[in-house]
Amino acid sequence: MKSHLIFIGAPGSGKGTQAARLVSLKGLKQVSTGDLLRGEIAKGTKLGEEVKSVMDTGNLVSDDLVVRLLQANINLESEQYIFDGYPRNLAQAQTLDKEVLKGVKATAVFFDIDQKKLIERLTNRRTCKDCTSIYNLISKKPKIEGVCDKCGGTNLVQRADDKEDVIKNRLEVFQKTVDPVLDYYKQSNRLVIVNADSSEDEIFSKISSIL
């Protein structure tokens, strides 16, 4: 089995966009803990109710809950995964090795980007409610305003936590927790850094070369 990928990057650093390309062009499977959590909220499950208020503020939900949700939604033997949005802190990185990967190979990819650019990217981000395709009102507009290029859906929405005050908190939470995670993967020679400010194609080819 080839190496799994672990995407690490601030909200808006382009992880989701690259993951979508790797899924459609390379056959990888993306597992985003943020998407799984939003799915629970949309389904109105008890877990969804539990996490909604935390997610609305941009803080992290409990490590234990997230890893259980992750485990319930992956099959490491049959798929090559992109872990998107997990791990978010050192404890989660250690749990991922001990309880999920258990010796299976995985490479961490850090999307390195200037924080100032992120607020603009995030406030202009729109997501298709029907197929989760990601757009940007400045740099990646849909061909027809308000219509998803991929599925034709007309629900291009702003995520509840992409509002400026929540974004600031999400970026702060990211900054506070990321360094030990990067050190963890660096120490075990499993860290690749990409310049997330370069073009989508350049980033894609750099990541593809790891596979």
Of 102, 145, 150, which is closest to residue 1 (Cα–Cα)? 102
Phi and psi torsions of 113, nearest 5°: -150, 150
Q: Nearer Cβ to ligand AMP, position 64 or 114?
A: 64
Give the nearest distance from C-beta 167 to ligand AMP in angstroms: 10
How far apart CA 5 and CA 116 sit, in angstroms, is: 26
**38 assigned to active site:** no
Catalytically annotated residue among 38, 121, 126, 170: 170
7 contacts: CB under 8 Å, gap ≥ 6: 15, 18, 19, 82, 83, 84, 85, 109, 111
Question: Contact at 8 Å (CB) between 157 and 126?
Answer: yes
Contact positions with ligand AMP (CB under 6 A) in 158-197 = 161, 170
Question: Contact at 8 Å (CB) between 35 and 209?
Answer: no
Question: Contact at 8 Å (CB) between 185 and 6?
Answer: yes
- 194 forms bridges with which residues in the sheet? 111
- 140 forms bridges with which residues in the sheet? 136
How far apart CA 181 and CA 106 sit, in angstroms, is: 14
Give the nearest distance from C-beta 206 to ligand AMP in angstroms: 21
Q: Does 60 bind ligand AMP (CB under 6 A)?
A: yes
Give the nearest distance from C-beta 145 to ligand AMP in angstroms: 25
**168 assigned to active site:** no
Catalytically annotated residue among 38, 121, 125, 126: 125
Binding mask 70-109 for ligand AMP (x = CB under 6 A): ---------------xx-x---x-----------------
Q: Does 33 bind ligand AMP (CB under 6 A)?
A: yes
Q: Does 147 bind ligand AMP (CB under 6 A)?
A: no
**Is residue 98 packed enough to be buried (19+ CB in 10 Å), middle (13-18) or exposed (0-12)?**
exposed
Q: Does 156 bind ligand AMP (CB under 6 A)?
A: no
Q: Does 30 bind ligand AMP (CB under 6 A)?
A: no
**159 assigned to active site:** yes
Q: Does 127 bind ligand AMP (CB under 6 A)?
A: no
**21 assigned to active site:** no
Interface with ligand AMP by CB under 6 A: which residues? 11, 33-34, 37, 54-55, 58-61, 66, 85-86, 88, 92, 161, 170
Catalytic residues: 15, 88, 125, 159, 170
